[in-house]
Chains A and B, each alone.
Chain A
Amino acid sequence: MPRSTRMTLIAGAAVAVAISLALGSVAAQDDDTMDDSDAMDPMEQMEPGISVRDAWTRESMMVDLAGAAYMVIHNNTDADDALVGATSSAANVVEIHQSSMDEEGAMAMAQVQEVPIPAHADAVLEPGGYHIMLIELAEPLGQGQEIEVTLEFATAEPQTVMVPVQATGPMGDMDGDDMDLDHDMDEMGHDDEDDS
């Protein structure tokens, strides 16, 4: 989409997130008991309700190949909740899937209807496990971009999160600090090895 439209979307999403956070903090003040046990988890003190952190997705140059978004969702309420769906301007269809290993050691993937987010606990969406599947990408995902994903919950109000697009690389180095990942994925092609 045009850059101006994307900027508008990002600004709008930022406003929406800010408003929802403000509303969430007002609504949760009566419910959230901040007793001493909560003091052990700094996240609990900062974010009432459902909060999302460490969201990311991989770059993808081919829109026909589905992408996957990962994140950690924290439930700071006393009641269990669940991620039950998602939408995104970056993809025509968004589904929740889970990878797992079967009894023969093969990895398989299945669509699931929800990801449980127990009370005062995290739901982790990570490679090899739960992930949000982005199907029929609106456009290629380039490293450095951000896409907008709106999460839908069983109980909590929907939340829109900005998901940064990471360059292809190892999990141990999502910030690009440890390894010198200086390959330039902006180059759409490369000189193929000489096959003759």
Chain B
Amino acid sequence: MRPIKQLTLPLALVLVVAACTADNEPTATPAQTPAATASVSPTLEAAATTGLPAAGALAPVVATDPRPAPELVDLINPDGSAFDLTAYAGNPTLLFFGYTHCPDVCPATIGELYGVFEEAPQTQAVFVSVDPERDTPEFLTEWTQYMHDNFDAVTGTPGAIRRAADDYGVKYARVETTSTAGYTMSHTADLYLIDEDGQLLITYPFGTPAAEIAADIDRL
């Protein structure tokens, strides 16, 4: 694998971000449940041990010491079978967390994924739902019916999803609203690039264009 260019700036970013997040305990927003607040510490701890850049970085962050992407333990495919991230080895895989009832952010990410599929057709995508109440296996079966062949969705028990999110430094919480559409989920909307060997390489912030991601994949 060719070395990824321009490691100096991302390295500085990772160090700065790691230093900032190690010292500052983020205050919980009113929308967060106590469970979400309690996950902050293990999230940071997980980030430190996996070498993951903290969520919400404004630029793609390249892992300086790539490690195996955290396994998504106890999650299930829409057909009920156990999800196995290692089965994606051999293909570059883009992973992100979201929910099907997300009308804006998740469709935007999916749009970029479709662009990546065009440019790098060997790429697979995995969507992990943070909303198992609505994103049941049955619902995901129908939802993915309309999706690109390379796009997979997984769900699980609330506990399994929380553990998986913690492993990736993903924060999420249920937000009650007065909207006709019902409750929403706030969630880290980063996109994680896992290479053919199962190494977590890059964390892309929400909004990263498909062309940039595809270029990184082509360089793998």
Contact = CB atoms under 8 A, between A and B. Distances in A.
Interface of A: 58, 61-62, 65-68, 93, 95, 97, 99, 101-111, 127-128, 131, 133-136, 168-173, 178-181, 183, 185, 188-193, 195
A190 B54 CA distance: 37
Nearest to B146: A61
B185 to A, nearest CB: 8
Contacts of B210: 170, 172-173, 179
Contact of A105 (B118, B119, B184, B188): B188
A147 to B, nearest CB: 15
A101 B180 contact: no
B186 A106 contact: yes
A108 B31 contact: yes
Interface in B28-76: 29, 31, 40, 54-57
Contacts of A192: 144-145
Given A127-B111, A191-B149, 5 more contacts: A62-B142, A104-B55, A105-B188, A108-B175, A108-B184
A179 B119 contact: yes
B27 interface: yes
B107 A101 contact: no
Contacts of A173: 115, 210
Contact of B189 (A65, A103, A107, A131): A107
B56 A68 contact: no
Interface string B105-121: 10110111011101100
B22 to A, nearest CB: 15
Given A107-B187, A108-B186, A169 B115 contact: yes
Nearest to B109: A127
Interface of B: 26-27, 29, 31, 40, 54-57, 77, 79, 81, 100-105, 107-108, 110-112, 114-116, 118-119, 142-146, 148-149, 171-173, 175, 177-181, 184, 186-190, 206-207, 209-211
B209 A133 contact: no
**Chain A interface, DSSP helix/strand/loop, else mixed:** loop
Nearest to B43: A104
B220 to A, nearest CB: 20
Most buried by A among B102, B112, B186: B186
A135 B181 contact: yes
A103 B171 CA distance: 11
Contact of B143 (A62, A169, A191): A62
Contact of B206 (A107, A133, A195): A107
Nearest to B175: A108
A165 to B, nearest CB: 13
A105 B110 contact: no
Contact of A109 (B26, B105, B149): B105
Nearest to A67: B103
Contact of B184 (A65, A109, A172, A178): A109
Nearest to B180: A93
Contacts of B146: 61-62, 185, 188-189
Contacts of A93: 180-181
B171 A170 contact: no
Contacts of A66: 101, 103, 181
B189 A95 contact: no
Nearest to B184: A109
